[in-house]
């Protein structure tokens, strides 16, 4: 089955700096890669996703890149703000799998 590894497990940045979270996956059949943000006491919220037919996707301060050859994808947050502090999860899945396999999460702290 699919295995997703996520790094780092914790990340602290100064407000205004950029943050990068990286994930690797094992199943070459995976073709869908969402990122979720989870705030304390809440369910994960989809913030951006990318499908395997593109290499990069951007939405305001958030971008995701995908390298299918190397089987890794990354989340980039620019101009970080304190409200970006949360746990971020990457995930991978394919049309045949029907479920997402999640990484173990990254606790991002943006220091004011």
Structure tokens at 3: 């295995």
We find the least distance from the C-beta atom of residue 73 to other proteins, in angstroms, to be 15
- Binding site residues, other proteins, CB under 8 A: 6, 31-32, 34, 36, 41-46, 49, 51, 89, 91, 93-105
- Alpha-carbon distance 51 to 9, whole Å? 24
We find the least distance from the C-beta atom of residue 56 to other proteins, in angstroms, to be 19
Is 27 in contact with 2 (CB distance < 8 Å)?
Answer: yes
In this complex, which beta carbon is closest to other proteins, that of residue 78 or of residue 109? Answer: 109
Sign of CA dihedral 6, 55, 61, 20: positive
Nearest to 68 by CA among 94, 104, 100, 99: 94
We find the least distance from the C-beta atom of residue 98 to other proteins, in angstroms, to be 6
In this complex, which beta carbon is closest to other proteins, that of residue 49 or of residue 57? Answer: 49
In this complex, which beta carbon is closest to other proteins, that of residue 8 or of residue 16? Answer: 8
- Alpha-carbon distance 84 to 15, whole Å? 9
In this complex, which beta carbon is closest to other proteins, that of residue 69 or of residue 96? Answer: 96
We find the least distance from the C-beta atom of residue 93 to other proteins, in angstroms, to be 4
């Amino acid at each position: 089955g699919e295995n997703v590894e996520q790094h780092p497990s914790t990340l602290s940045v100064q407000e205004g700096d950029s943050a990068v979270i990286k994930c690797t996956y094992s199943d070459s059949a995976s073709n869908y890669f969402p990122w979720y943000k989870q705030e304390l006491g809440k369910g994960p919220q989809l913030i951006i996703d990318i499908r395997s037919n593109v290499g990069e996707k951007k939405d305001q301060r958030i971008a995701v890149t995908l390298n299918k050859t190397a089987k890794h994808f990354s989340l980039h947050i620019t101009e970080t703000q304190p409200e970006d502090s949360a746990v971020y999860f990457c995930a991978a899945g394919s049309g045949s799998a029907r479920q997402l396999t999640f990484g173990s999460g990254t606790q991002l702290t943006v220091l004011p």
